[in-house]
Amino acid sequence: MEKSALQKARASYQPKLPKALQGAVKIAEGAPTQSVDNQEDIKKLFPNTYGMPLIEFVQGNEIPAKAINVGIILSGGQAPGGHNVISGLFDEVKKLNPNNRLYGFLMGPGGLVDHKYIEITADFLNDYRNTGGFDMIGSGRTKLETTEQFEKGLEIIRKLDINAIVIIGGDDSNTNACVLAEYYAAKNYGVQVIGCPKTIDGDLKNDQIETSFGFDTATKTYSELIGNIERDCNSARKYWHFVKLMGRSASHIALECALQTQPNICIISEEVEAKDLTLNNIIENIAAAVAYRAEQGQNFGVVLIPEGLIEFVPAIGRLIQELNDLLAAHGADYKDLDKDAQREYIMAHLSAENKATFETLPESVGRQLSLDRDPHGNVQVSLIETEKLISEMVDAKLASWAKQGKYKGQFAPQHHFFGYEGRCAAPSNFDADYCYALGTSAALLIASGKTGYMAIVKNTTANAENWKAGGVPITMMMNMERRNGEMKPVIRKALVELDGKPFKTFAAQRDEWAKNTCYIYPGPIQYWGPSEVCDQPTKTLELEQK
Amino acid sequence: MEKSALQKARASYQPKLPKALQGAVKIAEGAPTQSVDNQEDIKKLFPNTYGMPLIEFVQGNEIPAKAINVGIILSGGQAPGGHNVISGLFDEVKKLNPNNRLYGFLMGPGGLVDHKYIEITADFLNDYRNTGGFDMIGSGRTKLETTEQFEKGLEIIRKLDINAIVIIGGDDSNTNACVLAEYYAAKNYGVQVIGCPKTIDGDLKNDQIETSFGFDTATKTYSELIGNIERDCNSARKYWHFVKLMGRSASHIALECALQTQPNICIISEEVEAKDLTLNNIIENIAAAVAYRAEQGQNFGVVLIPEGLIEFVPAIGRLIQELNDLLAAHGADYKDLDKDAQREYIMAHLSAENKATFETLPESVGRQLSLDRDPHGNVQVSLIETEKLISEMVDAKLASWAKQGKYKGQFAPQHHFFGYEGRCAAPSNFDADYCYALGTSAALLIASGKTGYMAIVKNTTANAENWKAGGVPITMMMNMERRNGEMKPVIRKALVELDGKPFKTFAAQRDEWAKNTCYIYPGPIQYWGPSEVCDQPTKTLELEQK
């Protein structure tokens, strides 16, 4: 494996561990816990893993040097630091007993079901310490949900004499980890299941989980790029840059990047929904900022757009809903019509409100909404280039204002979408340390005989040595939600809270940012150098925790 | 101005100066020089600035502590390090005499003509040391070409008592700097003009100029992103990423990024032209790699595409030429036809060869070539999303191979265009040092009474203190070329040389890279840390100079 100078130098970084995890450890248990909602339902569904106490690891000498074999699974989208969770887990498992073995299931949860795995050895692991990516063992999106899968997994677990499975994933994967833990506990199989909070989207977060790993590195990488674009924008003074950012439904990434870079405009999906804003409202807000800046001779700016925006515009949500129903009922005769006739057909059948929404959309987007469907008949929202849709509509709005004499200026848009650029960046010091501590905690939870827990690390705005590590019962974070028409126990997803400090901090400054040029240029992630440059947590974390 | 932690910490970086520039300096002059071609023509056009010697600054005590005022101009596209050229110039000018003044003309060469300027003071400058962007004084694309402009510029030069103008720009801007130098010399105005080699594209390069500034930082920033995408690609194992890279006509950026990251495929426009490859040849080469990898179960990969590719495909060049002529002659009646009729019209009028080329293009691209024109009637090549064009054509080729049973696999493309992300990044240590030395040299050239020179720094693969600084007569790099139908003296543009070491090194390895997965992950630019991580020049420079 040929390596860059940075890869070589970074390999020797020794992640900082919380003091409590550095030597011998004992467990401090809290009181029994309750799920965040629907306590009776959750308790009934998880009789063996409900109500367990919160756990904190403190200095002591209680956790035995146990013989354990562990299997690890990476689930879902990549996030920087996954390899360090595995490193922390490996080092602690070997510290507990050098004969302990760690197995990696390949290409995600499917590896457990299909019995595809490798043993992770020290030599093999050393190539991946402090690296980004999930390429060490691969990841995948197979959902572990059925008893057939659980039983199939058990075969290989027995064959390899594995005591515990660690699942590194987002909210859904951790929900499934808990279902698996409950199943193995109910069957008395003696197999523990431990989760780890992963996602760049930042939406796996609650009273117990301060942040999901990868959010720090991904947002810093996107902010580097946004800052560079801002500086270009402020130098050339002739473009409006529309930047779409990954993050699925939640706008945490967009909000964090806005706090780091102070762009002229950042749209927050959760606010759009809460205020029942229409697409036209959003467009008018942007166009007003463009027009204001044009008056000052500033025909340039930067706009951040969260990936999930379209679905959060209530009017468009309602339109999509009606289109789904309409095409499900009449899809067959509709399909054979030509393009223009299809449009007429839709306009004739939509309710007045949704027809009005449909008419405001550029034709290409209307077409995507009404025609391009996934195999389940749903709109493929991710295919819509929201950044272009919005800049086109702003352009049209400005043109109409120009006709009315309300706007005079040049509007030249540029478009960007950042996602893949940050999911596999080499983890920042924060993520490298945080993940290593999560992996270490996962090993200690296993050694303590726990199951149905997620490894957690708290107090993360302090120095790493003062972080607090432990575990949270996964059931504690659950409630009941409707999924595909059925009520299911799930970990509650964290969207941006409009009364939370990060959003309020942003909201208090955004008018200033829109009018003036207040760009901040964070630059690339630094691994060496002054601590204030290398070791800072995200603005979101700082505002939430301090 | 609110600043990031990196901005604050980086502000105090003291660029490393070559030993020869650290103390008192004298000039070592070489023999008289000749232009690279068309010596008689160039000599005739530049009687006052032709044939001057190469200059090297060495330790000594000859250059007087002269009283001089200097004006500086940023010309053309942004490149990391421009602010450091200004810093080096400022510091040296003030060292020569604390009463010396430095003026910055605003928003490019137009600032000289329109008399828009600011005085650059120590306080003002300190906010911009070691930063990216050209926002300190702005840049612009006005060409300084006419005597009216030169005379208008002279008015403000006289008013501010300026002795010399420094123009920071690419090949065209430096050509114009020389024309201006010659004009002021011929008129005996006593105003010197000095150039500095700037461009991320890397195409201002020759025996005297080892590299243009900004190329180092920009290619390292793009390589960071490409490496991150490669790691994602290698983790998810389900996408082919098509990455278009800025760089105008030349493929230096794509080649350098390929050497840094070892993608599966990198197209080099200069090779396409030299081998008279068709678009279909290119598509078949890529599709063959996709098919080969699919057989090994690797339905993923990364392809780098230089921005200027389309114009370098000889068949498309010929097609564009005929379309230009055709539409110039018949544009009026053509315009009123509907879409399908326009296509028929074109097909009916094109020569057989160009018709065949036109038919292989996706309809949307054919339409862009035949309809969307700039005000001069030329195709707007930069509007063509080459990365999508190529992936669409690869997709179609694979589909036809699948029908013939020659291909079995999944092909899911993703698209990226990197340009604005790197033009204004904070300069790497290399660019920070290199630019500071260029600025210092420019000041010394002025103090030595020189005009029509470009500041240069050589031996740049050694440690900065062993770099050699000096000046090259701009006429030495000139030849005569046809521009808009007229023969003009211009600095010869450096395209990728197919018998140069960078290309040959790439060509020797690319089959291996296509078949196997040999990705290298360079990571983000580091400003602190091990020297082998922070201070390395580009691979191109290393291969060319060593």
Q: Is B500 annotated as a binding residue?
A: no
Instruction: Give the residues across from A73 on adjacent strands.
Output: A167
Nearest beta carbon to residue B424 from set A135, A231, A425: A231
> Does residue A28 contact residue A56 with C-beta atoms inside 8 Å?
yes
Q: How confident is the model at residue B375 (pLDDT cuts 50, 70, 90)?
A: low
Q: Please give the interface size between A and B, counted as residue pairs whose CB atoms are below 8 Å apart.
A: 194
Looking up tokens 């699919």 gives B294
| Shortest CA gap B220–chain A (Å) | 11
Q: Is any Cβ of chain A less than 8 angstroms from the Cβ of B130? A: no
Of the candidates B103, B83, B20, the residue with the CA atom closest to the CA atom of residue B55: B20
Residue B127 pLDDT: 96
Residues in A touching B229 (Cβ below 8 Å): 420-421, 424
Instruction: Report the alpha-carbon angle B209-B76-B456, nearest 5.
Output: 20
Task: Choose between B122 and B369: higher pLDDT.
Answer: B122
Nearest beta carbon to residue A424 from set B134, B235, B524: B235
Q: What is the pLDDT of residues B469-508, one digit of tens each?
A: 999 999 999 999 988 788 999 999 999 999 999 999 999 9
> What's the residue count for chain A?
546
CB contact under 8 A, B228 and A6: no
Looking up tokens 């790699």 gives B289
Q: Is B248 annotated as a binding residue?
A: yes
Residue A375 pLDDT: 60
Residue B373, pLDDT above cutoff 80: no
Residue B66 pLDDT: 81
Cα nearest neighbour of B226 on chain A: A421
| Shortest CA gap A58–chain B (Å) | 33
Counting other chains too, the contacts that A273-281 makes at CB distance below 8 Å and 24 or more residues apart are: A273/A312, A273/A313, A273/A314, A274/A498, A276/A314, A277/A313, A277/A314, A278/A313, A278/A314, A278/A315, A278/A357, A278/A360, A279/A313, A279/A315, A279/A316, A279/A357, A279/A360, A279/A361, A279/A393, A280/A360
Residue B372, pLDDT above cutoff 70: no
Q: What is the pLDDT of residues B190-220, one digit of tens each?
A: 999 999 999 999 999 999 999 999 999 999 9
- Please state, in angstroms and rounded to a whole number, the distance separating the CA atoms of residues B518 and B532: 21
Q: A residues 268-327 near B, CB within 8 Å?
A: none
Q: Is B172 annotated as a binding residue?
A: no
Q: How confident is the model at residue A153 (pLDDT cuts 50, 70, 90)?
A: very high
Task: Tell me which of A326-330, B376-380, B451-455 is least confident.
Answer: B376-380
User: Which of A135, A262, A518 should be substituted to probe chain B, the one whose Cβ sees the most B Cβ atoms within 10 Å?
Assistant: A135
CB contact under 8 A, B221 and A228: yes
Q: What is the pLDDT of residues B289-328, one digit of tens each?
A: 999 999 999 999 999 999 999 988 999 889 988 888 887 7
Residues in A touching B262 (Cβ below 8 Å): 2
> Does residue A143 contact residue A108 with C-beta atoms inside 8 Å?
no
Q: How confident is the model at residue A378 (pLDDT cuts 50, 70, 90)?
A: low
Q: B residues 238-267 near A, CB within 8 Å?
A: 239, 241, 260, 262
User: pTM, whole model, 2 decimals?
Assistant: 0.96
**Of these residues, A172, A201, A431, A433, which one is catalytic?**
A201
Residue B22 pLDDT: 95
Question: Which domains are delineated in chain B?
Answer: 26-214+427-491 (3.40.50.450), 215-307+385-419+496-545 (3.40.50.460), 311-383 (1.10.10.480)
CA atoms within 13 A on the CB side of A179: 17
Pairing assessment for the beta strands B25-32 and B53-59 based on DSSP bridges: antiparallel
Residue A374 pLDDT: 63
Task: Tell me which of A380-389, B151-160, B413-422 is least confident.
Answer: A380-389
Residue B345 pLDDT: 86
In this structure, what token pair is assigned to residue B326? 């055709």
- Please state, in angstroms and rounded to a whole number, the distance separating the CA atoms of residues B520 and B257: 10
Residue A206 pLDDT: 96
CB contact under 8 A, A78 and B236: yes
- Please state, in angstroms and rounded to a whole number, the distance separating the CA atoms of residues B54 and B473: 7
Question: How does DSSP assign A231-286, residue by residue?
Answer: HHHHHH---EEEEEE--TT--HHHHHHHHHH--SEE--HHHHHHTT--HHHHHHHH
Instruction: Report the alpha-carbon angle A74-A78-A82, nearest 5.
Output: 55
Cα torsion angle, A224, A227, A232, A238, sign: positive
- CA quadruple A257, A518, A497, A416: dihedral, nearest 10: -40
User: Which of B75, B223, B232 should be substituted to probe chain A, the one whose Cβ sees the most A Cβ atoms within 10 Å?
Assistant: B232
Residues in B touching A422 (Cβ below 8 Å): 228
- In this prediction, what percent of chain A has a pLDDT beyond 90? 84
Q: Is any Cβ of chain A less than 8 angstroms from the Cβ of B205? A: no
Q: Is B201 annotated as a binding residue?
A: yes
Residue range B28-48: mean pLDDT, rounded: 97
AA identity, residue A238: K
> Does residue B73 contact residue B166 with C-beta atoms inside 8 Å?
yes
Q: How confident is the model at residue B341 (pLDDT cuts 50, 70, 90)?
A: confident
CB contact under 8 A, B235 and A521: no
Of the candidates A410, A398, A387, the residue with the CA atom closest to the CA atom of residue A302: A387
Helix H or strand E encompassing A401: helix A386-403
Q: How confident is the model at residue B337 (pLDDT cuts 50, 70, 90)?
A: confident
| Shortest CA gap A431–chain B (Å) | 15
**What's the whole-number average pLDDT of chain B?**
94
For residues A12-46, one letter each, b for 16 or more C-beta atoms within 10 angstroms of the residue's C-beta and e for the rest, the string is: ebebbbbbbbeeebebeeeeebebbebeeebeebb
Q: Is any Cβ of chain B less than 8 angstroms from the Cβ of A21? A: no
Q: Count Cβ atoms below 10 Å from residue A57 Cβ, excluding itself.
A: 25
| Shortest CA gap A328–chain B (Å) | 27
What residue spans of A275-380 are helical by DSSP H?
A: 279-295, 309-312, 314-335, 339-349, 352-360, 363-370
Q: How confident is the model at residue B383 (pLDDT cuts 50, 70, 90)?
A: confident
Residue A376, pLDDT above cutoff 70: no
Residue range B451-478: mean pLDDT, rounded: 97
Q: What is the pLDDT of residues A389-411, one digit of tens each?
A: 999 999 999 999 999 999 999 99
**Of these residues, B172, B201, B431, B433, which one is catalytic?**
B201
Residue B455, pLDDT above cutoff 80: yes
Residue A4 pLDDT: 97
Q: B residues 371-400 near A, CB within 8 Å?
A: none
> No. of H helices and E strands in chain B?
22, 15
Instruction: Give the residues across from A118 on adjacent strands.
Output: A104
| Shortest CA gap B147–chain A (Å) | 27
Residue B371 pLDDT: 67
Tell me which DSSP letter residue B466 carries: G
Q: Is A334 annotated as a binding residue?
A: no
Cα nearest neighbour of A260 on chain B: B4
In this structure, what token pair is assigned to residue B336? 């009123």
Residue A522, pLDDT above cutoff 70: yes
Residue range A314-326: mean pLDDT, rounded: 87
Of the candidates B39, B11, B20, the residue with the CA atom closest to the CA atom of residue B478: B39
- Please state, in angstroms and rounded to a whole number, the distance separating the CA atoms of residues A337 and A344: 10
| Shortest CA gap A416–chain B (Å) | 8
Looking up tokens 């018998």 gives B499
In this structure, what token pair is assigned to residue B231? 């790691």
Q: Is any Cβ of chain A less than 8 angstroms from the Cβ of B463? A: no
Q: Is B171 annotated as a binding residue?
A: yes
Tell me what ipTM this predicted complex has.
0.96
Residues in B touching A129 (Cβ below 8 Å): none
- Residue A47 backbone phi and psi in degrees, to 5: -60, -30
Instruction: Give the residues across from A72 on adjacent strands.
Output: A104, A166
Q: Which residues have a Cβ under 8 Å from the Cβ of A214 and sit 6 or more positions away?
A: A78, A79, A80, A81, A82, A198, A199, A200, A423, A427, A431
> Does residue A46 contact residue A164 with C-beta atoms inside 8 Å?
no
Residues in A touching B505 (Cβ below 8 Å): none
Q: How confident is the model at residue B172 (pLDDT cuts 50, 70, 90)?
A: very high
Residue range A42-59: mean pLDDT, rounded: 98
Q: What is the pLDDT of residues A451-507, one digit of tens each?
A: 999 999 999 999 999 999 999 999 999 999 988 788 999 999 999 999 999 999 999
- Please state, in angstroms and rounded to a whole number, the distance separating the CA atoms of residues B103 and B136: 12
- Please state, in angstroms and rounded to a whole number, the distance separating the CA atoms of residues A165 and A181: 9
Residue A15 pLDDT: 98
AA identity, residue B326: L
Instruction: Give the residues across from B164 on adjacent strands.
Output: B70, B192
Q: Which residues have a Cβ under 8 Å from the Cβ of B5 and sit 6 or more positions away?
A: A522, A530, A532, A533, A536
Q: Is any Cβ of chain B less than 8 angstroms from the Cβ of A222? A: no
How many Å is the Cα radius of gyration of chain B? 25
Instruction: Give the residues across from A193 on adjacent strands.
Output: A165
Task: Tell me which of A112-126, B414-428, B483-497 is least confident.
Answer: B483-497
What residue spans of B243-299 are helical by DSSP H?
A: 252-261, 269-274, 279-295
Locate the DSSP E strands across B92-224: 101-105, 117-119, 164-169, 192-197
Residues in A touching B139 (Cβ below 8 Å): 235-236
Q: A residues 137-166 near B, CB within 8 Å?
A: 138-139
User: Which of A128, A141, A382, A521 should be substituted to probe chain B, the one whose Cβ sees the most B Cβ atoms within 10 Å?
Assistant: A521
Q: Is B261 annotated as a binding residue?
A: no
Q: How confident is the model at residue A373 (pLDDT cuts 50, 70, 90)?
A: low
Residue B338 pLDDT: 77
Of the candidates B500, B536, B14, the residue with the CA atom closest to the CA atom of residue B223: B536
Q: Is any Cβ of chain A less than 8 angstroms from the Cβ of B527? A: yes
Residue range A63-84: mean pLDDT, rounded: 94
Residue A306, pLDDT above cutoff 90: yes
Q: How confident is the model at residue A7 (pLDDT cuts 50, 70, 90)?
A: very high
**What's the whole-number average pLDDT of chain A?**
94
What residue spans of A53-146 are helical by DSSP H?
A: 82-96, 110-114, 122-126
**What is the maximum span of chain A, computed from C-alpha positions, in angstroms?**
79
Catalytic residue flag (residue B535): no
Residue B376, pLDDT above cutoff 70: no
Phi-psi region of B300 (alpha: psi -120 to 50; beta: other; left: phi over 0): beta
- Please state, in angstroms and rounded to a whole number, the distance separating the CA atoms of residues B100 and B310: 49
Residue A12, pLDDT above cutoff 90: yes
Cα nearest neighbour of B75 on chain A: A236
Q: Is A436 annotated as a binding residue?
A: no
